[in-house]
Amino acid sequence: HHECFLEPDTRLPMMYISDCIQSVIQMMECRDSDLTQRTYNIAAFSFTPEEIITEIQKHVPLTVEYKIDKTRQTIASTWPQVLEDTNARRDWGWDPKFTLEKMVPYMLQKVRDQLRTETAVVKELF
């Protein structure tokens, strides 16, 4: 059982860390002559709590209780729903690899692997 502190339809831009790291590497390797500006937005995908819950539920049982936190919701409501990254895509070929549908099973596998490792360590200790 999990608690969510935002409204189910609050859309926020997100990025899986591997894509974030790759974006930095791509920009650092880009020729200066290809850059039309010095700073860039990068984006991957946006989703709502409801959408990620639905995606997770395709793989594992999950129950969620919405306990809206007014402060967190107020902050989230001021963020953009989507980031514009056309310039990064054009100038240095930015193209994120993860979507919500690709990220969820990948993350769940990483969690399973971590739990197996931690369980093995605990068994070894005791």
Q: How would DSSP label each residue in 89-110?
A: HHHH-------HHHHHHHHHHH
Burial 59-80 (b: 16+ CB within 10 A, else e): eeeeebeeeeeeeeeeebeeee
Backbone angles phi, psi at 18, to 5 degrees: -60, -40
pLDDT computed for residue 122 by the predictor? 72
- 18-27 pLDDT, tens digit per residue, is 999 999 999 9
Question: Taking the model in full, what pTM does it have?
Answer: 0.85
**Reported confidence tier of residue 119, pLDDT bands at 50, 70, 90:** confident
**Reported confidence tier of residue 55, pLDDT bands at 50, 70, 90:** very high
